[in-house]
């Protein structure tokens, strides 16, 4: 019995990582046709994940270009998906998270009256400019979605507060945990890209890329890193630097050529996930790492003033420290000098699931498609 066709749309590396387990489970269901569409909002970093998880897209919009902005991405996704959706006529379009690809793909599906399933739904900061543009991308996608795959009960409550019907919300856990469990290995051997890092020292893994942190906020963060590496002889800063020149130029200017500071090219996901596992503390403005690192027992200091993942703060795995130099320095220093405080964060229970989120999502999709073709379940 043919249940229907599901189109999975994503455009960035984090989306690909989190959608890979779902695609894997969908492909196991013979009665569901699965089509994968990538917009390549981020090209090189996306391709690394596609290769790692053996994902071969059916369509590739190849949108990334120099100095792209939100207007070009949005219109490129909308116009690029129009013909594909008209040709494929999917029964469900599956999107993930909070990227511009996510919102534009949901809007394109809405224009053709195709139901949307939103993976990692319901995260909110209630500040539409923080994170920007992700908070509004996610919220607007939520208004367009028919099925909401919330990672936690907190996300479910956010959706209920926005008058989303309870029967449209499913708490599944976060698929990033599924991907992480398939990727991190105790016997993993790092390649040449990490040559020169002394893993006998305490590794502070750093990532920064958020638009709201560009400029003085970023400089404050980097000043705090300089203080830390100067104070602690057994600390090494490992910083895979985002490709965006707004980030890269400042990082090289302030952190380049410093002893025990390693500015790297963006790492492939497998190497990066295992680097998280080898690190002592994570300092990041990323969203996904707030979910991943606690699964590995690593304290996370979030370099933002708001987070759409309050569950991690409540659980004690994550601390919101902002971008002020003193606050970043003080929070990291405390974990470096106080083992009790470190263990309290490292041993807290991760609220984001058990690695079976994709299984739950695909079960809901199957039930949804059964109902659409009129089969009683």
Report the distance separating Cα 338 and Cα 273, nearest Å: 26
Record: fold of 192-346? Rossmann fold (3.40.50)
What digits encode the pLDDT tens for the residues 127-157? 999 889 999 999 999 999 999 999 999 999 9
Closest by alpha carbon to 101, among 62, 155, 148?
Answer: 62
Q: Tell me the C-alpha distance between 276 and 183, whole Å.
A: 11
Active site residue 120: yes
Distance of alpha carbon 55 from alpha carbon 36, whole angstroms: 8
- The pLDDT value given to residue 375: 65
CA distance 267 to 275: 9
Question: How many C-beta atoms surround the C-beta of residue 35 within 10 A?
Answer: 20
Distance CA 221, CA 283 (A): 10
The per-residue pLDDT for 203 is 98
**List 33, 146, 182, 242, catalytic entry:** 242
pLDDT at res. 376: 59
Select which of 211, 219, 248, 258 is catalytic: 211
Measured between alpha carbons, how far is 200 from 209 in angstroms, rounded to an integer?
28
| Known active-site residue 211 | yes
Residue 135 falls in the annotated catalytic set = no
Given a contact cutoff of 8 angstroms between Cβ atoms, the answer to whether 321 and 299 are in contact is no
Domain range list for the chain? 4-174+354-372, 192-346
From 91, 98, 212, 311, the catalytic residue: 98
242 tagged catalytic: yes
Closest CA to 225 of 275, 168, 282, 277: 282
| Catalytic residue from among 209, 219, 248, 333 | 209
Annotated active-site residue 192? The verdict is no
Which of 120, 212, 308, 311 does the annotation list as catalytic? Answer: 120
Is 223 catalytic? The answer is no
Q: Which residue numbers in the chain have pLDDT < 50?
A: none
Catalytic residue among 91, 134, 135, 311: 134
CA distance 138 to 97: 6
**Model-level pTM?**
0.84
CATH homologous superfamily for 4-174+354-372? Answer: Glycogen Phosphorylase B; (3.40.50.2000)
- If DSSP codes are grouped into helix, strand and coil, which group holds residue 183? helix
């Amino acid at each position: 019995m043919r249940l229907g066709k599901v189109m999975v749309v994503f455009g960035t590396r984090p989306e690909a990582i989190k959608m890979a387990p779902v695609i894997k489970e969908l492909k196991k269901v013979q009665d569901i046709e699965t089509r994968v569409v990538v917009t390549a909002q981020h090209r090189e970093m996306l391709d690394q994940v596609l290769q790692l998880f053996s994902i071969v897209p059916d369509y590739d919009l190849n949108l990334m270009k120099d100095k792209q902005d939100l207007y070009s991405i949005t219109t490129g996704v909308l116009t690029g998906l129009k013909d594909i959706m008209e040709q494929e006529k999917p029964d469900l379009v599956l999107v993930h998270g909070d990227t511009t690809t996510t919102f534009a793909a949901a809007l394109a599906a809405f224009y053709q009256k195709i139901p949307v399933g939103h993976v990692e739904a319901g995260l909110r900061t209630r500040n539409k400019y923080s994170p920007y543009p992700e908070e509004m991308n996610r919220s607007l996608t939520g208004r367009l979605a028919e099925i909401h795959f919330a990672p936690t009960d907190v996300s479910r409550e956010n959706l209920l507060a926005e008058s989303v019907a309870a029967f449209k919300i499913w708490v599944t856990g976060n698929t990033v945990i599924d991907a992480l469990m398939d990727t991190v290995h105790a016997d993993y051997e790092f390649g040449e890209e990490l040559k020169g890092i002394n893993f006998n020292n305490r590794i502070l893994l750093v990532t920064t890329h958020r638009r709201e942190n560009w400029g003085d906020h970023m400089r404050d963060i980097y000043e705090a890193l300089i203080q830390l590496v100067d104070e602690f002889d057994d600390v090494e800063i490992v910083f895979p630097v985002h490709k965006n020149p707004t980030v890269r130029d400042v990082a090289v200017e302030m952190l380049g050529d410093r002893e025990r500071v390693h500015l790297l090219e963006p790492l492939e996901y497998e190497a990066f996930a295992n680097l998280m596992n080898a690190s002592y503390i994570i300092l990041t403005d990323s969203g996904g790492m707030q979910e991943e690192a606690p699964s590995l027992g690593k304290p996370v200091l979030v370099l933002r003033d708001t987070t759409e993942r309050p569950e991690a703060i409540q659980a004690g795995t994550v601390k919101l420290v902002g971008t002020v130099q003193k606050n970043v320095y003080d929070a990291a220093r405390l974990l470096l000098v106080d083992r009790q405080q470190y263990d309290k964060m490292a041993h807290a229970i991760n609220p984001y699931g058990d690695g079976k989120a994709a299984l739950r999502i695909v079960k809901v999709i199957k039930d949804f498609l059964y109902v659409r073709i009129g089969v009683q379940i």
